[in-house]
Structure 1
């Protein structure tokens, strides 16, 4: 009986060790990914939270933590100096980093590891809104010359893209920094005459933009036909987004916006097989992602095409993760001209 008792207790101890201690051991094997994104309330933060929830469920060998930062620029900088494992990178930011100019001027000397592109999530499209009462005073963006304009938080890519477009039209506006929660009152009170409005995936405005549009009367200020032609001549694309996407009466049927590409990227620390698997998992759950956030509508409609377009827009500035290259090759969307731009090759 005594021997049986010891044997039973020993067996019970082993079961408890396996049942209780085994779970933390399995969890400890999951690779942590500290994935930085933009500020809480931004389109990037909202989309990354939805993406993280799905990836954490479908790829249990990774444990992804979303880290909000002041803006996407901070995530790229943070990855380059070893602070983060993943980042929220746009084609315009990669271009500035490669050229050591703009918001990255002088940063090259601090880079400890080079960012690469690994997953393009959507386009983001920027434009301008003005007070509804003032709409008839403006014939296009050029009429904002010398006027106070909030083109977005200083480090954000939406601001850099809108400023690039306005500079192409020689619109010498006065930039005014405004807290996101005070944009509506700043517009109605006259502190600013216009502010950036933007959508993600040609469907989903940022939460703070929707809040501003619902808090005061705003009309979309589309560039004039001549300005659109000048933007296109400067190599800048324009798109037309249904005004209903902004959930407010903007006084137009379509809002004319300037797009750029955004992605949630990881570096070579994540192996080729895992990035390839991540892309296939995202593709398989694109419907789910689009239901949780309309920003993912583009990957739902054509995951391969948005990856191809993102690579095409930024391949001269930033190398391609071999997992993304493999994914595009298997879908006949890779160009041989890009072979020498595969990271690590």
Structure 2
């Protein structure tokens, strides 16, 4: 009997750890890996996605999110559509080009393996122009940059597409100069360019590289003229006022006039409705925490529902809505029944 009890005890000592190991293994297998692509290291999108990932990984233990930097948001949308990524960093202007087979997405639809959808709008991003501070008084508005060398941003980036769209609306025939981000300040100082793109996120947080450029050289914000503002708005492009002190250095104006568009961190229909809905509610619950981590999230901390509603309204004709986002907006009383036929399904 003693030998039997000893053997039984030994068996139990072995069996319990093995059983726990098997349970842990089963639990681990239930964790869903999400490869979520965003823009380049040093960009506003990368900084914001890292903050969002840290919170979601903590609050959604059944998901493991990995942030993947890419050359730009365009690459993330393309990568998702060709099954390279599980999540992407998409803007309304990119979705418009994709739907219309125009601009940076011309000819791309033939390569697509799945359609992107919209699932979470994080903030607006607002674009404008900076010039040498010593030359600021030479310009009455953006139109005075016609024929001049201008760095409107890296070629694939959505901020460049939005700024180019605004400048084309105003018929500013500038000469685009492609630069490494780190050379923008020295190129302006050395007069290789006469202006470069400046932009903020959430009307509060400039991109890190923009602030670095403003520290490295003396930059003044160049606002569009009153007539140019009217022309932009007549063409359906909004213009917002951003306090000049959100930028590093003296931008020579109390208010910077910038042209906004919507940016979001999206997933597709591979992530179930229930999980996207849960993700949105978690983001809303922790919006103030996110805003403390990165001021780009200030807008969702003030009114999460409003940003989702405005983002959908800006892009619903171009890209369908994830059913999880549709459910979230319905429950908040912010869904437009006219969007019913734009809810995505498999």
**TM-score (norm: length of structure 1):** 0.98
2:325 is matched with: 324
| Alignment correspondent of 2:227 | 226
2:69 maps to 68
Q: Offset of 1:2 from its aligned partner?
A: 3.3
CA distance in 1, matches of 2:226, 2:25: 62
Q: Distance in 2 between matches of 1:282 and 1:153?
A: 30
Separation (CA, whole Å) in 1 of partners of 2:19 and 2:214: 56
In structure 2, the partner of 1:130 is 131
Comparing 226-235 with 254-263, which one deviates more in the overlay?
226-235
**Tell me, which stretches of 5 or more residues in structure 1 are unaligned?**
none
1:26 and 2:27 are equivalent in the alignment:
yes
Distance of 2:25 and 2:47 partners within structure 1: 29
CA distance in 1 between counterparts of 2:248 and 2:332 reads: 36
Number of the residue aligned with 1:59: 60
Q: Corresponding residue for 1:158?
A: 159
Map of 1:196-211 to 2, 5 A cutoff?
196-211=197-212
Q: Shift of residue 4 of structure 1?
A: 3.2
Query: Match for residue 170 of structure 2?
Result: 169
Further displaced range: 182-191 or 115-124? 182-191
1:273 aligns with 2:270: no
Name the SS for the 2:154 alignment partner.
Answer: coil
Structure 1 residues 3-152: aligned runs within 5 Å: 3-20=4-21, 22-152=23-153
* Superposed CA offset, 1:165-213 (max 9, x none): 0000000000001101111111111111100000000000111111111
Structure 1 range deviating more: 19-28 or 103-112: 19-28
Within a 5 Å distance, the mapping from 1:231-250 to structure 2 comes to: 231-250=232-251
Pairwise CA distance, 1:280: 0.3
User: How far does the alpha carbon of each residue in 1:82-135 deviate from its partner, in whole angstroms, 9 at most, with x for none?
Assistant: 111100000000000000000000011111110000000000000000111111
**For residue 178 of structure 1, what is the aligned residue in structure 2?**
179
Q: CA RMSD in A?
A: 1.1
Name 1:264's counterpart in structure 2: 265
TM-score by length of 2: 0.98
- What is the alpha-carbon distance in structure 2 between the residues aligned to residue 115 and residue 320 of structure 1? 9
Q: Which residue of 2 aligns with 1:290?
A: 291
Partners of 2:265 and 2:163 in 1: CA distance: 21
Structure 2 unaligned residues grouped into runs of 5+ = none
1:309 corresponds to: 310
User: Could you tell me how far 1:20 is from its partner in structure 2?
Assistant: 4.7
Distance of 1:269 and 1:153 partners within structure 2: 31
* Deviation digits for residues 218-265 of structure 1 (CA, Å, limit 9, x no counterpart): 000000111111111111100000011113210000110000000000
Find the aligned partners of 2:161 and 2:155 in 1 and give their Cα distance.
Answer: 8
